[in-house]
Chain A
Amino acid sequence: MERLVALPFGKSVEIAYQSIRVRFFRSLITTLSLVLAVAFLCYVQAGNRIAETILQTGSEAGFRALLQAGYDVQPGDAAIGESAKQRWLVILSLMVCVVGIVNAQLMAVTERFREIGIMKCLGALDSFILRLFLLEALMQGFIGAAAGALLGAVFAVASSAVQFGALVFTALPLGGITMTILTATATGCLLSLLGVVFPAVKAARMAPVEAMRVEE
């Protein structure tokens, strides 16, 4: 039992944070596709929530405004779901985003083969390497997704304000929008993790010599 190498969690977070900070520009680009995809997701969902709230106020003006804005509502409806077209667009954008993350992370891993090899020579286990990459992805994912979700929500409110005018502010579903932001952020973190799993496993499994042999 005593013959164990260790990497405390706090230290892993520190190293992961440092890697992101040092490669800030690259991290930014990796994160950017996530920001956009999550912003789109959040924009669509928050927009629907706002429209739904306007519908639920039951006012004649609100109903007319919704029809005018292109929502497919009938008198007596209580909810507005995402349209099939919206749903496909969101799913497609998230898929493109994951592929983008996988691509960027594969490049990042290749760039860091040597670093991975060195760490292994110093006694790092596969799990250390995996943990560092997952933590990095989680941090990037959280920051990117949170930024994207806020951006999306702000745009949703702004565009609703343009469409429906003052109506929006009498019935702004703050709780609902907050929920949407939170779920969109969680989705983003999940996507970021999903995108890094394959590259990180590939990196962690490399034998130290192979990793070191790669020329920079």
Chain B
Amino acid sequence: MPSDRSANVQHAIIRTTNVVKTFQLGSHTLEVLKGISLNIAADRHVSIMGPSGSGKSTLFNMIGGLDKPTSGKVFINEVDIAQLDAYELAWLRCRKIGYIFQTFNLIPVMTALENVTLPMIFAGTGNDEAVERGMILLKTVGLADRFNHKPSELSGGQQQRVAVARALANGPSIILADEPTGNLDLTTGEEIINLLKRMSEERKVTIISATHDFKMLNVSDEVIWIRDGLIDKIEQRDELRISVGTIE
């Protein structure tokens, strides 16, 4: 079973070639990513692990088309995102990628339902259909009864569940989760991880999460370890069990 799930056989939904990102801090140039090449196959759950400051969030932003690399290329579905204009990039963010953030990032002035339906409106869905699909999504994440609440009236875990529903709004092929459990306690974090796992199985979505939460390892098909702006090692699910086993 694991052999036919190897990255080489499957279609790479995300591919980066020698991605370098530098930031200019005054006269000092900081090289955050020093040449990252990776393939992420479709329908897998991939975790990008690494200590803070390792460049994992920067890599995450590149993969999500939120930031452009200084050099190197990022391909989403074999399309070089540097070649996309503002409209195509917006379309990509709207239809193909769902984002989940550490700080939930719901729009504070909107209700849970409005937060979930906003990407659908951007995608051109009519209001009635958006509300209907939004309610179904909220029901899926178990928050149907709180649809009319503002983010400030929801707990952290509930906000993150709304964010998961929002990420799924337009049926994306990729979900990018940046430290999805970073601001949650142990149990709530686990709930979100399980929710993500369930969604990836039910909806055939590729989930990529940047994290340093070890709970995430149990549900990942593949873990990419980043250290000092370089790929340290890539472990598959079966290898992972052993190394986690040795830690414990």
Chain A residues at the B interface, C-beta cutoff of 8 Å: 3-8, 11, 18-19, 22-23, 114-115, 117-126, 128, 207-209, 212
Contacts and interface: CB of A to CB of B under 8 A. Distances in A.
B91 A123 contact: yes
Contact of B124 (A6, A120, A125): A6
B99 A125 contact: no
A4 B87 contact: yes
Given A115-B107, A121-B99, A125-B90, A8 B121 contact: yes
11 contacts: A4-B87, A5-B123, A23-B109, A115-B107, A115-B108, A117-B105, A122-B94, A122-B118, A124-B90, A209-B67, A212-B66
B109 A22 contact: yes
Given A11-B121, A125-B86, A118 B67 contact: no
Interface string B80-118: 000000111011011100010100011111100000001
Contacts of B188: none
B127 interface: yes
Nearest to A118: B105
Contacts of A122: 93-94, 99, 118-119, 122, 166
Nearest to B101: A212
B236 interface: no
Nearest to A115: B107
Contact of A18 (B87, B105, B110): B110
B119 A209 contact: no
Contacts of B119: 122-123
A119 to B, nearest CB: 7
Which DSSP category, helix, strand, loop or mixed, fits chain A's interface?
Answer: helix
Nearest to B178: A212
B37 interface: no
A6 B64 CA distance: 20
A121 B122 contact: no
A206 to B, nearest CB: 12
B107 A119 contact: yes
B61 interface: yes
A118 B123 contact: no
Contact of A5 (B91, B109, B110): B91
Contacts of A18: 109-110
A5 B118 CA distance: 12
Given A5-B90, A118-B106, A123-B119, 9 more contacts: A5-B87, A5-B124, A115-B108, A121-B99, A123-B93, A123-B123, A124-B90, A212-B101, A212-B105
Instruction: Name the residue in B95, B118, B123 with the highest tally of chain A Cβ atoms < 10 Å from its Cβ.
Output: B118
Interface residues of B, number: 28
A195 B122 CA distance: 27
Given A11-B127, A207-B67, A209-B67, A123 B105 contact: no
Nearest to B130: A11
A151 B124 CA distance: 43
- Identify which of A4, A19, A123 gathers the most chain B CB atoms within 10 Å of its CB: A123
A120 B91 CA distance: 10
Contacts of A118: 105-107
Interface in B46-99: 61, 64, 66-67, 86-88, 90-91, 93-95, 99
B222 to A, nearest CB: 25
A5 B66 contact: no
Contacts of B110: 18
Contact of B122 (A3, A5, A208): A5
Contacts of A5: 87, 90-91, 94, 122-124
B87 A3 contact: yes
Contacts of B95: 123
B100 to A, nearest CB: 10
Contacts of B64: 121
A96 to B, nearest CB: 30
A5 B91 CA distance: 6
A126 to B, nearest CB: 7
A11 B109 CA distance: 15
B86 A126 contact: yes
A3 B91 contact: yes
Given A3-B87, A4-B91, A5-B90, A124 B122 contact: yes
